[in-house]
Amino acid sequence: MINHGGWALRKRQELASAPKSYGRSTDAATPANPHEFSRLGRLGRKSGGGFYDFPPGARKHLWPGLAELYPVAAEQPGVDEVKRRLLCIQALETARCVEEGVITDAAGADLGSILGLGFPTWTGGTLSYIDTVGLRAFVAACQELAERHGPRFLPSPWLVERAARNEAFLPVVGSA
C-alpha cells in the first residue's frame, strides 16, 4: 500500500510558493489562480474532485463548476489560428531545447516530436517545420503571436540572432 499522506502537504507547499504574479498574467497558458482549487477543497481524486468529479460507483466527469471559474471567451479562434498557435509553440519549445543543449540532434528531435508529441507528420517534425517556413518568417510569426497571446510565444535572442544569420537547423540535402 502506498502512503499518500504527504500529498496534501506537498500541494499546500507548492501553492504557497506559487509566483505572486498568478492572476495578473495576460498569458493564457498561466492559470488565473492556482490557489482557487485548493480553497474550494478540490485537491484531486482523494478529495472527491479537482478538474474532475469522482462520484462513488460512477464514472469520472468534468466538474460543472469549471465553467464558472473559466468561462468560455465570447470570441473563439478559428481552426487555422489554433493550428498555427500549436505548431509555433511546440516548434518554439524544441528550439529552446536546442539552445539549452538539451537536444543535440535535429533529426532525432524531428522524429521525437512526431512520435512523442504527435507533431503533424506532414511537417517533418518541429525543427523541419521551422526550416520549411523559414527561420525569419517563423520568428516574425512568433513575435506577432507574443503580441496577441503573451510572452510564451516570444523567441529567445539566440533564435532571433540565428534568424538574422538565416541558419537552418537541419543540413540541406546534397550540401557538403
Query: Cell numbers of 96, please?
Result: 529552446
Q: Are 25 and 152 within 8 A, CB to CB?
A: no
- For 74-121, the DSSP string reads SS---HHHHHHHHHHHHHHHHHHHHHTTS---HHHHHHHIIIII---G
Q: What sections of the chain are H helices per DSSP?
A: 7-16, 35-39, 66-69, 79-99, 106-112, 126-133, 135-149, 157-164
Where do you find CATH 1.10.1040.50 in the chain?
79-164
Tell me the sheet residues that pair with 49: 44, 53
Grid look-up 540535402 returns 173
CATH architecture of residue range(s) 79-164:
Orthogonal Bundle (1.10)
Kindly report the pTM of this predicted structure.
Answer: 0.68
pLDDT per residue as tens, the chain (176 positions)? 444 455 556 656 665 655 554 444 445 555 556 678 888 888 888 888 888 888 888 899 999 988 888 888 889 999 999 999 999 999 999 999 999 999 999 999 999 999 999 999 999 999 999 999 999 999 999 999 999 999 999 999 999 999 999 999 998 665 55
Residue 28 contacts residue 70 (beta carbons within 8 Å) = no
